[in-house]
Every structure is written in structure tokens, then in C-alpha cells.
Structure 1
Amino acid sequence: MNTPAFSRYTGQSSCSRRSGRAGQNNWSVLLIAGTLIMLFACSASDLVAAEITVTSKFLGGSGDVLEIEQNDDAARVVITPSSQIDRGWPCWWYVRIDGAKAGQKIAFTVQSNNLPFRGTQKLAANWSTPQRAAISLDGVSWAHTDTATTTPQTATYNIIAPQASFWVAWGPPFLSAHAESLLSEIAATLTAENEPNKRFELARSRENRPVHAIRFGNPQAANSIWVQARQHAWETGSSWVADGFVQWAASDDPLAVQLRSTTEVFFVPIMDVDNVDRGAGGKDSAPRDHNRDWADRPIYPEVLAAQNQIKKQIDDGRLRVYIDLHNPAPGDHEPFYFGPLDYAQLTPGLRQKYDRFLELSTQFIRGPLAIHPRYRFATYVPTAEEQKRVSRNWVGDRIGDQGVSLTLETAWNTPASTVDGYREVGRGLATTITKYLIEMNQADR
């Protein structure tokens, strides 16, 4: 059996090259010189071999190409998540492949980034090597690849090229453009029904990007809820859970209509918009990430703005539910809540509220991504001072007995961790909140 003849290039060149035979020394010198010029002239994040190119030069993109090999029928591509020092974990990757041939077999390998991302800290490989990657023909609709073949440092996804150009990512991307489109759709739906709603800019980020949000429902209601996602930029699944939540909450489902008549909803689909659009991980950014910034003097304008609005709702006696949406560790295969660290010491009335919220969640967050039936607690946070800067705890310390404050972690490394799967969790969360508020309102009468 003949071994396939691959054309093989390594490095970081994104320019097209032709190889040939030089019969004279001066031609060889010119060829070498020209190649060197092209290597210096081209981007450090792209590479081309014959016809295939791989790039991450677009909004939210991430990935440095280490190697490409190919022949007419097959190709091998190796990338690693891009390093952005002090911008958080190097686990997120999102690239476009161009110049493939439909039906071509491509062994797409992700090699973990072993460079320090902050000081001497390095990230374990399994955060960047999901069992299944996301693949798209148009950058809009996403599906899972087949299960990867893994080593301790790599994951290889065997892909049949669907067309000349397509996208591959760690998970289905959700960027600032998605947030803008989603909120426009929600506002249009509610406006068409003559229902109150207001799109607003929560803040301008440190890099002057708008942090989009919306409020809707009954602005005079005694109840309010706050749901937000993406304090950690790499956790793209959390925004898709948020998408499912808000689409249900703005729908014509009778329960959703009841929610809007008795409650004002505050919704933020992306908090860390800078790192999301940069394609950075965000988690453990320097000097601290968004979910460790809930301090007396936050460094992120959007955190300060959220604190101010939430504090006002608490002071007005309105806030009943605070939910911060995240994705957990690669080995977590079911969604779960991080509850209050002092759960065992809560007053009987407040503990009953947390228990009932969890009971309702087990009824409505079901299916392949069914909620874990017990609270977990973020005891891994090393100090009491840092614990107080976690948003769930910051809100929980201030909300008292009037409501619940929770972090929902939705598993990302399962066959059901898709756009549809995440949205289903979001719909279940919205139903849970609505049922919980109905019961709490009845108990208050």
C-alpha cells in the first residue's frame, strides 16, 4: 500500500507558495530569499499549505496554526488556542478553514496551549479539548463533530470537509453581534404586542464596547429578576442558555405572559464583551476577572453598573431572583447550581426558598441536561475575601431573606451541549423562575 504523498508546511505563513526544481544555484537563492520575505510579511496566526488556509482573523476568533499537511484526498491541520497574556485562560479557539475540497478528509488537531497565561500559571489541557467540536457551514448554524481521538495534550476531530470554506470552534460562538441581534428581536416581539420593554446600555467596557441589556415586563411590579451571562468569556454555552431563557420569557406561552405581568426582567447576555470579541478566555484575567470583581471598587464599568442597578432593586424590596450563568469543568456532565456557602446557617424561611427553587428546577430543567438535584458550593475559592467578590455571594450577602441568588453552571462537554441543548436549559430555568415567583406571591398574600 502506497503512503499518501503530503505537501507539508510548518510555521506561521499565510501566503501561498509554489515549490519547484531549480536547475541553477542563482534560482535556488532567489527562491529561498523570496520564501523568507513571504514568511516575514505574513501573519503570525495563519498558515497555508497548497490550497488550504486557516485563519482566526475575525471577531471572536482564536487559534495559532502549528502545522498543515495535505494531499488531494486528505489533510492534517494542527492549531493551538491563541495566547493573550493576562487575558485569561487560553482554552477558547475558533477558526475558519478555506480552500478545502468538498469530501476531503481533514484530521483537525487541537494542541493545548502550554504557555503561561498569567505569571507562571498554565492551563490543563482538557479545558481546550472538548470531546466534540462545533462545526458550521455559514458561521451561524452549528453542529457537533464526531467524538475526538485524544492524547493527554491533544484532541483530533476527523472531519469530512462539507465545502471549500467552513468554521470549526471549541463550542458554538456567541459574540456581541449575537447579543445585539437577540435583543433587537426580543424588543421587536414585545413592542409588536404593545408590551413595555427598554433596551439599554448597561455600561461601556474598558475598551469602549457597549454592554447590551434589556428590561421588560411590568415596571411597576413588586418583583424583579436579574439574569446575566458570560462573566467568563470562554463560557459561550452560558449565553446560549441565556438565549433560551429570554426567548421563552418574551414568548406567548401563558406562563411567560404571567411572568411579564407580575415581574420586571433585567437581562444581560454578555458581561465580558471585551474578551468575548477578542477571542480571549477571560477567566483569571489580570488583575482579576469579572466574577472576582464584585468589590467596593470594581475595575470593570459593567460590573459597577450591574451592582448599582441590583443594589437599587434590593433597596426597593423588589429583587426576588438573581442568576449568574456559567459553564463548569470538563468533567461535569450535568448542570448544577452553586448555592450559598452558608446554606446550613440560613434562616428557616430563606432556606425553604432555596430548597423550593431547587425542587422546581428538577421538575423543569430536564432531558439530557437535567439539573443536579443538590446544591454545590464554591469551596475552591481560596480566601474569604475573594469569596465576597464572587457575584453570587455579593448579591446573596445583600438580598437577605427577600430572594435567592444562584450561579447556574451548564455542562459543556456532553453530546447534548449544543445550541438547542443549552436553549432547553434556559427555557427550563425561565419556567422554574416563573413557577417559583407564583408560589412566593401566593405565600405573601
Structure 2
Amino acid sequence: MKSPFPLLLLLGALALPLHAELRVLTDFEGGNAEVVKLDEATKTLRIMPAIREGRGWPCWWFFKLDGLTVGDEVTLEVQAQTKPFREANVLAAAWCQPKQAWISSDGKTWTPSDAGTRTEDKAMSYKVKATAAQMSFAWGPPFVPSDAEALLAEIAAKLPEAKRFELAKTKGGRSVNGIRIGKVTAPHQVWVGARQHAWEAGGSQVGRGFIRWFASDEAKAVREKTCLHFIPIMDVDNVAVGAGGKESIPRDHNRDWAAEPIYPEVAAAQRMIREIHTTRGLDVFIDLHNPGATDPVYFYGPFGFERMTGMQQRNYQRWMDLAATSITEPLKVVPKYRFATYVTTDEERGRMSSGWVRQNGGPFTISVTLETGWNYPVMSVEGYGQIGAGLGRTLGAYIDENPRRE
């Protein structure tokens, strides 16, 4: 008679809980994480943003963690990248260590973790309860090229008269797409774009809230007299590969608005804006960004604002007054312009999109940059969307007053 022990051992092994091996996945659109250590026993993962050579700041991170057991507590630690991203420059930790990590169990709905805590070696540590076998973790709610495509398709379906267009093909062969809403002969012309710095995902989130407002019934009256050109992502290449984009080599998109741009999409934007202004006049240019970790919601305005007179001064001031009334949730916009004093030369200021537009616009043109503070738990997809809707209401009220009036 054979011994029953092998069968008993097998049955005992089958009765033990099975734990899949934890795996970090980044091979998807926008993915980025360099694993520093992974401790299976304590469910502790430490990462830092991976450097994409020549592609700017290593601050954005976005990955999937596979092999989780529902109910387990996972510790995510995020440290600064230790290697220089450009010459001898090592990026400060604040840029990659938000107060909360953003997590998703389905890749669609994003919620903030509890506030992180600082470790002795200056990493940020987040505690997360696993709710699925695979979960996504990110610096902030992501917005990648496929999200841009879905948004443009949504708006085009809602407004059949809207016209989608390809602004340019990137150096990497990817499409930079946009949408035009309104007649090209409309009396008012507006350009709104996001993500000249790839890591600033909140800019595109604000843009989504803005364009959805502009396509809504509330905006019907302003659509009848306005032609809007909207670009949800400018630096598509860097967004797609999970790079930071800012301070890319030799320069990033928002320092490329020169006489001879190196990025095809910047050159194409310049050509379109020149044509719009030459044929119809450009009323409003808005560039959507995210600022530093401790910053609120605010606009960068034009240097020399205090010395402006006449129509130009009136329009910039009226824009700010209307924004202060309309952009209130979930955070209020600062009711005064800030100025990019960290840019110290006229030459560099002229290579920034807002500066270039001011140089190539008319006396009624305003060109502003909206910086939306990201390091707050209320800056969810919905929170960003509220800022975008408030921006839309600002634009609607501004156009209603006719900025070209004498």
C-alpha cells in the first residue's frame, strides 16, 4: 500500500494562500518609474522617476503594480532621481513628491491617497490599501494622447459643426491634434492650448473642463460669435513616453517660440496664429500649465502691465476681474497677475509662447498663462474640470463685452 503522505502534502500545499509575484509595469502610454527596491515580504515599493535622456525633468511617474492581494496594505516610497537630467542639474525632490499619490483600480477613476509622510532619507511614503489585483499609481491624474483623442472625438460628436485638425506631426512621428469650434469668419478668435511641459498633466485636465464647458448649452451664445482653436496636448512625444519635457535639450516647447523653432508643432502653431491674426485678429491666447508644489491657481500676465494704457490695459485688467469672479471652485484664482521674473532676458521672454503672441498680436489681444496648483487633494479630475469651466465662463463674459470696442 502506498503512503498517503505525498497526497496529504499536496492537499496541504493547495490549501495555502497563493500570492502572485509583485511586478511593476511601465510599458504603456505615459508610463514611467525606475524601481529602487521592492520588498515582497513587507509590500514596500520604492521608485524614482526614470530619466528620459535629453527629455527634461525627471518628475513625472506613472506605473501599474501587479500581483496584489485585495486588502493588503502597500507602502509606496518615492524618492528624487539621483542622476543629473541635464549637465550637472539634479532635480529637487519637491517636483516628484506630491502630498498624496493618485491611485486607480480601473485606470479610469483616480482618487488621492492619504497624505504621505517623509522618511528619514527624504523619500515620500504613501500607505495604500489594495482594492484590486492590479492597481495604477501616478504623480497626478494622468492625461495621455489617447485621452486627448477620446476628448476630441467626444466634442466632435456633440458639435457636428466642429472641425478636427492635425496641427503637425512631431519629430517622433506622432500627431498633434486639435479642434476648431465656430466659423473661421467669426468676429472673435481664441486659441487655447495645454502641455507645452509634458509633466504638467493638470493643464490638459483643465483644458478638458474648459472645452466641455465651451461645447455646453451654457456657452451657445459665445460660440455663435467666437472661433476657438483648442490643442489638448502640445508636447505629445514626451507625454507619450512619460518624460517631463521641461528643460529638454536643447530647449523645451515653451522656450521654442523663436524665429526658427525646432519642434514642428510649435512652428505650425506660429503659422496658424499668424494667419488667424492677419485675417481676423486674435482676441485671446491662453496657455495651460501647472506651477510649483506650493503654488495656488493664478495667471502670469505681461511684463510692463503696470505701465500699459488704453485698450490693452483695459482688456488685461478686465480679464483678471472676470476670472476672479468665475474661477472659484475648488480653489479661487489669485485676483492679481503674477509675472515670470525668473526669466531674466528679453530674448528668452520672446521665446515663450505668451511673449511671442504678445509681440505678434494687436492692441486688443491678450495673452496669458493659467497656472493651476496641483498639490491639493481637491485637484482631482473633477476639480481640474471645475477650474476649466470657470475659465470658460471667464472667456464667455469677456467676449460678451467685446474686447475690440474703442
Q: Specify the TM-score bucket, using the shorter chain as the normaliser.
A: over 0.9
Alignment counterpart, residue 284 of structure 1, candidates 247, 262, 276: 247
Scaled by the length of structure 1, the TM-score of the pair is 0.85
Partner of 1:95, secondary structure, is: strand
Name the residue aligned to 2:36. Answer: 66
CA–CA distance in structure 2, aligned partners of residues 381 and 258 of structure 1:
39
For residues 52-201 of structure 1, the aligned pairs below 5 Å read 52-71=22-41, 74-151=42-119, 153-191=122-160, 196-201=161-166
| Matching of residue 355 in structure 1 with residue 323 in structure 2 | no
Task: Give the fraction of aligned pairs with identical amino acids, expressed as a percent.
Answer: 45
Q: Which amino acid aligns with 2:25?
A: T
CA–CA distance in structure 2, aligned partners of residues 142 and 50 of structure 1:
24
8 Å Cα contact 2:330-2:387 kept in structure 1: no
Name the residue aligned to 1:211. Answer: 176
CA–CA distance in structure 1, aligned partners of residues 279 and 21 of structure 2:
62
CA–CA distance in structure 2, aligned partners of residues 153 and 169 of structure 1:
19
Give the deviation of 1:119 after TM superposition.
1.0
Name the residue aligned to 1:11. Answer: none
CA–CA distance in structure 2, aligned partners of residues 109 and 267 of structure 1:
37
8 Å Cα contact 1:317-1:402 kept in structure 2: no
8 Å Cα contact 2:78-2:123 kept in structure 1: yes
Give the deviation of 1:309 after TM superposition.
0.7
Name the residue aligned to 1:432. Answer: 394
Q: Which amino acid aligns with 2:275?
A: K
Name the residue aligned to 1:250. Answer: 215
Q: Which amino acid aligns with 1:288?
A: R
Partner of 2:43, secondary structure, is: strand
Give the deviation of 1:318 after TM superposition.
2.5
CA–CA distance in structure 2, aligned partners of residues 162 and 56 of structure 1:
20
Name the residue aligned to 1:407. Answer: 369
Q: Which amino acid aligns with 2:244?
A: G
Give the deviation of 1:218 after TM superposition.
2.6
Partner of 1:401, secondary structure, is: coil
Q: Which amino acid aligns with 1:319?
A: L
Alignment counterpart, residue 397 of structure 1, candidates 331, 341, 359: 359
Q: Which amino acid aligns with 1:404?
A: I
CA–CA distance in structure 2, aligned partners of residues 439 and 348 of structure 1:
16
> May I ask how many residue pairs the two structures share in their alignment?
387
Q: Which amino acid aligns with 1:62?
A: N
After superposition, give the CA deviation of every residue in 1:129-170 in whole Å (9 maximum; x if it has no partner). Answer: 000111011111111111001247311110011111010000
For residues 338-377 of structure 1, the aligned pairs below 5 Å read 338-377=300-339
CA–CA distance in structure 1, aligned partners of residues 372 and 132 of structure 2:
32
Name the residue aligned to 2:287. Answer: 324
CA–CA distance in structure 2, aligned partners of residues 64 and 55 of structure 1:
10
CA–CA distance in structure 2, aligned partners of residues 263 and 367 of structure 1:
25
CA–CA distance in structure 2, aligned partners of residues 67 and 292 of structure 1:
36
CA–CA distance in structure 2, aligned partners of residues 274 and 63 of structure 1:
17
317-326 or 263-272, which deviates more: 317-326
After superposition, give the CA deviation of every residue in 1:220-255 in whole Å (9 maximum; x if it has no partner). Answer: 2111100000000000000000000000101112xx
Give the deviation of 1:277 after TM superposition.
0.2
Name the residue aligned to 2:379. Answer: 417
Structure 1, unaligned runs of 5 or more? 1-48
CA–CA distance in structure 2, aligned partners of residues 329 and 86 of structure 1:
22
Give the deviation of 1:316 after TM superposition.
2.2
CA–CA distance in structure 2, aligned partners of residues 238 and 226 of structure 1:
14
After superposition, give the CA deviation of every residue in 1:262-292 in whole Å (9 maximum; x if it has no partner). Answer: 0001000000000000100000000000000
CA–CA distance in structure 1, aligned partners of residues 176 and 329 of structure 2:
32
180-189 or 217-226, which deviates more: 217-226
Q: Which amino acid aligns with 1:320?
A: D
For residues 228-247 of structure 1, the aligned pairs below 5 Å read 228-247=193-212
Give the deviation of 1:416 after TM superposition.
1.4
Partner of 1:367, secondary structure, is: coil
Alignment counterpart, residue 275 of structure 1, candidates 238, 242, 247: 238
CA–CA distance in structure 2, aligned partners of residues 307 and 133 of structure 1:
37
Partner of 1:413, secondary structure, is: coil
Name the residue aligned to 1:444. Answer: 405
After superposition, give the CA deviation of every residue in 1:171-208 in whole Å (9 maximum; x if it has no partner). Answer: 111011000010001001001xxxx2110000000101
CA–CA distance in structure 2, aligned partners of residues 293 and 219 of structure 1:
27
CA–CA distance in structure 1, aligned partners of residues 178 and 330 of structure 2:
30
CA–CA distance in structure 1, aligned partners of residues 176 and 147 of structure 2:
12
Partner of 1:429, secondary structure, is: helix
After superposition, give the CA deviation of every residue in 1:289-332 in whole Å (9 maximum; x if it has no partner). Answer: 00000000000000001001111112224211000000000010
| Matching of residue 313 in structure 1 with residue 281 in structure 2 | no
Scaled by the length of structure 2, the TM-score of the pair is 0.93
CA–CA distance in structure 2, aligned partners of residues 64 and 224 of structure 1:
44
Q: Which amino acid aligns with 1:235?
A: E
CA–CA distance in structure 2, aligned partners of residues 396 and 316 of structure 1:
17
Name the residue aligned to 1:225. Answer: 190
8 Å Cα contact 2:281-2:362 kept in structure 1: no
CA–CA distance in structure 2, aligned partners of residues 303 and 346 of structure 1:
28
CA–CA distance in structure 1, aligned partners of residues 30 and 267 of structure 2:
24
Alignment counterpart, residue 302 of structure 1, candidates 245, 258, 265: 265
CA–CA distance in structure 1, aligned partners of residues 279 and 122 of structure 2:
51
CA–CA distance in structure 2, aligned partners of residues 345 and 311 of structure 1:
26
RMSD over aligned CA atoms reads 1.3
Give the deviation of 1:50 after TM superposition.
6.3
8 Å Cα contact 1:103-1:160 kept in structure 2: yes
